[in-house]
Structure 1
Amino acid sequence: MKEVKVFDTTLRDGEQMPGVSLPLNYKVRIAKQLDKLGVDVIEAGFPSASKGEFEAVKEISSLNLNAAVCGLARIVKEDIDAALDADVDMVHIFVPTSKIQIEHTVKMSREEIIDKSVECVDYIKSHGAKCMFSAMDATRTEIDYLMRIFKAVEEAKTDIVNVPDTVGVATPFKFYDLIRQLREHLTVPIDVHCHNDFGLAVANTYAAVLAGANEVQVTVNGIGERAGNADLAQVVMILHSIEKIKTSIKTEYLFETSKLVERLTGIKMPPNTPIVGENAFSHESGIHAHGVLKEFSTFEPGVVTPEMVGHKRRIVIGKHAGRHQIKKILEDAGYVVDEEKLNQIFEKVKEIGDRGKRVTDLDLFAIAEVILGELKREERAINVEEVTVLTGNKITPTAVLNAEVFGEKKVTSAIGVGPVDASLKAVTGLVGESIRITEFRMDAITGGSDALAEVYVTVEDEEGHSFTARGAAQDIVMASINAVINAVNYLLRMKKK
């Protein structure tokens, strides 16, 4: 069994994604999470790029993390000095090596590039730091020249060489051949850095490992320049689950790490993102859901489970749902349903789905209660009697709720970044902080300034039980409150049953 090291560049290449700019406190939080996740190396930034970048790298270097901290530098003494002054464990130097890059971005001959690279490796090593050398645009560099420069820095005692597919033009078979050739001629460890311009970053990284690469460069959620980089979770789980190749990653923190980076960068992942996406272990199709309820590996890879990556499996209601999954969801919530009633509920769910509507848990339970004749208002855990929301140019958005909670009069208040945020916090405050909102989406379902707003929410308790619901009103705040209260009411009712 082989072991591969994980080099995370979320804080350097990941931050180069258009629209992403991380303040110091966010960078520190991500660095600590990456250390918790177990990455071997954290590329904290490009210290010479700005004063703020230098301070961020220096701060992360001072955290005494288990992971090594790396700083990026050109083959320029001032860049290297900035990285060394930031107290990094490793300096990652790079220089363009492809014909097109040399002609248009570097004012040096090929021989001068080799000489300067060797000089910089010597300089870094003389200061007691580790050195990584990158031949930028390696996949468009002539193999003879690529081999020459790598051999030269290997002889200068660089600790590792990096083979970047800088513009994402490699394909798995060609990249495999390239890494195999380099592996046969080099003794120094090989690292790879793949971009996703053609959607092949993960596949190329995987192929490189099979060809003999010792380390992979990845980012959380695959963020980065242009179309991004190889995704950390996908690469790691392919290696662990399919190839049985070890890494230092504690996979149970993959979902948690993805969500933190998603929140701090503002880059939301599509629900169908592999491994960490909301739908990665979700099933709506009746055939799939029925199979998964009996044996999860029927319609999941089997070699990776949601628990392995800190995720959850969900059986989702929709127009493709089958009777078995609808019955299972209802029974788990405490409803007793015979075949005749089940068929009526099933047909109603299909009817809603065929109208293009999302079918929420609340829709299913509302349908069931009407058909079963069980709808009882007094069973609601929360009944809101009065809502007051304060907001304005110089006023901190504040919401005050007067409600009856489990038959007891209660008043709660909360502040937020806006009136909706404050109101949602106040609602969850009625039943304690153990219930949180995991999804919030709003649509205008009519036009005009008095448009009717429809809000979808998912709430989750501390045990991982979740419930989806909707609310609609002309007032956005009230639509949000109604949705959350509907969800919380039914979540609490499900737990009671």
Structure 2
Amino acid sequence: MSEPGRYVRIMDTTLRDGEQTQGVSFSPAEKVNLAKALLEQVRVDRIEVASARVSSGEANAVAQIVAWAEERDLADRVEILGFVDGGQSVDWIVDAGGRVINLLAKGSEKHCRGQLGKTLDQHVADVRETIARANERGLAVNLYLEDWSNGYRDNPGYVFGLIERLADNGIGHFMLPDTLGVMTPERVFAAISDMVQRFPALQFDFHPHNDYGLATANVLAAAQAGAAAVHCTVNCLGERAGNASLAEVAVNLRDQLGFEIGIDESHLARVSELVEYFSGKRIADNAPIVGADVFTQTAGIHADGDKKGSLYHSRLSPERFARRRKYALGKLAGKASLAKNLERLDIDLSEDNQRKVLKRIVELGDSKKTITTDDLPFIIAEVLESKDYDHAELLACSISSSLGLDSTASIKIRLDDQEHTAAGNGNGGYDAFTSALSKVLKKQGLALPQLTDFEVRIPKGGRTDALTECSITWQTDDGELRTRGVHANQVFAAIGATLRVVNILMHRALSERRSAEAASTAA
């Protein structure tokens, strides 16, 4: 049953079960685009796209999907959930152009008696009647055994009796749901193994739910036990805690168990993005396979190991999924992390400049959670521009801005060996800072030069947490001078650029004074 190399079919039910996610409703156009991506690009074996009799819009979506699939000889891989309702679901599906009904029957005695008020034989008679009508109208039939997991646990005789009475009705797949997500991998394996051994001529699917966070593990157990097909959704969409993740299921069936599957992994991330966009449900950055951060190394020791021999690589290489490995820059970054990012940007820096850039990255990492490769050119430009003057250092700063009131700033600054404090106000935080700073400089016989241009930029991508580069042009006695600062906060980026000009002016003043003293001594 669990022999490596056996082909396991995957049915994706994002367009049906996924729509049971709170707040998710795909438009007909979105359903068509997702169906195309799942069948043609990701190449899942089957898709379940709707529930019968929901709405005219749902019928329109089914019709469009089936029409597209027929042109590519894929229509028999498009399935619709239907109900034991006197043939109404059958007629709805046929009218929409569908070819396969996934008929929902009661897989537990509790549901059969408590919800329908019927005996097993009565329910079987109703199911047989619906199957007969489906066959008359040319539909292939699969059968869901709703609440099978509890039904098998509470009264397995009911489950076996239901299957025995329907086994000769031409049902393609008997689909076994863990409707409330209550099973463990061990229970799944034992139950599916029992079903497969009792009914070796039948095809069984396993349909998980993730209420205990075990959906993917349960799918693997079902496949090992001999399930012919397993169900999943993109991004784990589904009622309550959702279903099993298509990406996780596919990769684990292939890598961990050695089963053959038809999935094209290079499109998994793309279809995940589509579902995220259409559903409005964001996935976690650390979601396996498709999350934004799962191929990002943060610790410098990991980047170093990769540089020296791919020591932190596994079979889950980003290239499999049309993605690329990243090395995060921040307070945990090391030389190897920086080197990997410089290599990606095709930038060559001396060891001394790499050391300076890394020092600045670590400093910025204390005020910002992540620094991206796109931030790096700003940091490099700032560091290479620096002359390492240390005449002025901002020790503390508090800036307050209010609507309808002047902004205020309180600063503590070191100028050479002396510390100074001052407060100022102005039209905005930066204006208030320069007001306070000017008071300190005035006491030292210094003044800020005239500001002639002020430019703020962020890296491409438009992230609200991006580093900000502030470039300021000053008019000095020796001509124009441009300084820049980089910070996660744009006001403090401007402050950095301003402190840089103060350092340059103080260094020039010191040099001129020393030159004058040397000339006086020589005379």
State whether TM-score is above 0.5: yes
Aligned residues: 393
Structure 2 match to 1:139 = 149
| Residue 182 of structure 1 pairs with residue 195 of structure 2 | yes
Name 2:15's counterpart in structure 1: 11
The answer to which of 268-277 and 237-246 deviates more is 237-246
Equivalences for 1:290-301 in 2 at 5 Å? Answer: 290-296=304-310, 298-300=311-313
Partner of 1:166: 179
1:81 aligns with 2:95: no
1:109 equivalent to 2:119? Answer yes
1:314–1:332 Cα change, 3 Å: closer
Q: CA deviation at 1:334?
A: 4.3
Contact 1:194 1:204 in 2 (8 A): yes
CA contact (8 A) 1:28 1:60 kept: yes
Cα offsets for 1:18-75 (capped at 9, x unmatched): 1111111111111111122212212110121222212211221111244411111111
Instruction: Classify 1:252/1:373 alpha carbon distance in 2 versus 1 (closer, same or farther; 3 Å).
Output: same
Residue 167 of structure 2 aligns to a residue whose secondary structure is helix
What letter matches 1:72 in structure 2? Answer: L
Q: Normalising by structure 1, what TM-score?
A: 0.73
Distance 1:123 1:335 in 2: 69
Q: Which residue of 2 aligns with 1:286?
A: 300
**From 23, 28, 39, the counterpart of 2:27:** 23
For residues 250 and 86 of structure 1, the distance between their equivalents in structure 2, rounded to whole angstroms, comes to: 29
Larger radius of gyration: 2
Matched to 1:120, the amino acid is T
Q: How far does residue 133 in structure 1 lie from its aligned partner after superposition?
A: 0.4
Question: Residue in 2 aligned with 1:464?
Answer: none
Alignment of 1:60-79 (within 5 A): 60-63=65-68, 64=70, 65-67=72-74, 68-76=77-85, 77-79=87-89
Structure 2 distance, partners of 1:354, 1:455, is: 13
In the TM superposition, what is the alpha-carbon distance from 1:304 to its structure 2 partner? 2.9
Contact 1:194–1:201, Cα closer than 8 Å, also in 2: yes
Point out where structure 2 has 5 or more consecutive residues left out of the alignment. 388-456, 469-485, 492-523
Which amino acid counterpart does residue 255 of structure 2 have in structure 1?
S
What does 1:189-268 align with in structure 2 at a 5 Å threshold? 189-268=203-282
1:269 aligns with 2:283: yes
| Structure 2 counterpart of 1:90, from 100, 122, 127 | 100
What is aligned with 1:390?
A: none
1:216 is paired with a residue whose SS is strand
Q: Deviations over 1:316-373 (max 9, x none)?
A: 2122211111133234434443444333332332222233543233554333333333
**Structure 1's 22 and 348: CA in aligned 2 closer, same or farther, altered over 3 A?**
same
> After superposition, what is the alpha-carbon deviation per residue over 1:178-216, rounded to whole angstroms, capped at 9, x for unaligned?
100000011111111101111111111111000000011
Cα 1:470–1:242 shift into 2, 3 Å: farther
Per-residue deviation, residues 60-93 of structure 1 (Å, max 9, x unmatched) = 1111244411111111211122112222121000
Amino acid at match of 1:74: F
Answer yes or no: is the 8 Å Cα contact 1:240–1:246 preserved in 2: yes
State the one-letter code of the partner of 2:271: T
Report the Cα offset of residue 440 of structure 1.
4.9
Closer/same/farther in 2, CA of residues 364 and 47 from structure 1, 3 Å limit: same
- For 1:125, give the aligned amino acid: N
Residue equivalent to 1:337: 349
Work out the CA distance in 1 between the residues paired with 2:351 and 2:490: 36
Residue 293 and residue 257 in structure 1: after superposition, are their counterparts in 2 closer, same or farther (change >3 A)? farther
Residue 432 of structure 2 corresponds to which residue in structure 1?
A: none
Give 2:504's aligned residue.
Answer: none
Q: Deviations over 1:129-167 (max 9, x none)?
A: 211101101100022211221222222221110000111
The separation in 2 between residues aligned to 1:440 and 1:164, in whole angstroms, is 44
Once residues 197 and 487 of structure 2 are traced to their aligned partners in structure 1, the CA distance between those partners, rounded to angstroms, is 60
Cα RMSD after superposing both structures: 2.8
Alpha-carbon distance in 2 for matches of 1:243, 1:170: 20
1:46 aligned to 2:51? yes
The CA distance in 1 between the partners of 2:57 and 2:380, in whole Å, is 57
Q: Under a length normalisation based on structure 2, what TM-score does the superposition of the two structures give? A: 0.70
Q: Deviations over 1:257-299 (max 9, x none)?
A: 1111111111111110111111121111112222233444x32
The amino acid across from 1:59 in the alignment is Q
Percent identity for Structure 1 against Structure 2? 30
Which structure 1 residue ranges, 5 or more long, are not aligned? Answer: 376-426, 428-435, 444-453, 457-468, 475-497
1:244 offset after TM fit, Å? 2.2
Preserved contact between residue 327 and residue 340 of structure 2 (Cα < 8 Å): no
Q: Is the Cα–Cα contact under 8 Å of residues 109 and 120 in structure 2 kept in the other structure?
A: no
Return the alpha-carbon distance in structure 2 between the equivalents of residues 92 and 123 of structure 1: 14
CA distance in 1, matches of 2:488, 2:178: 48
Counterparts in 2 of 1:66 and 1:286: CA distance versus 1, 3 Å = farther
The residue type equivalent to 2:116 in the other structure is V
SS at match of 1:162: strand
Contact 1:330 1:365 in 2 (8 A): no
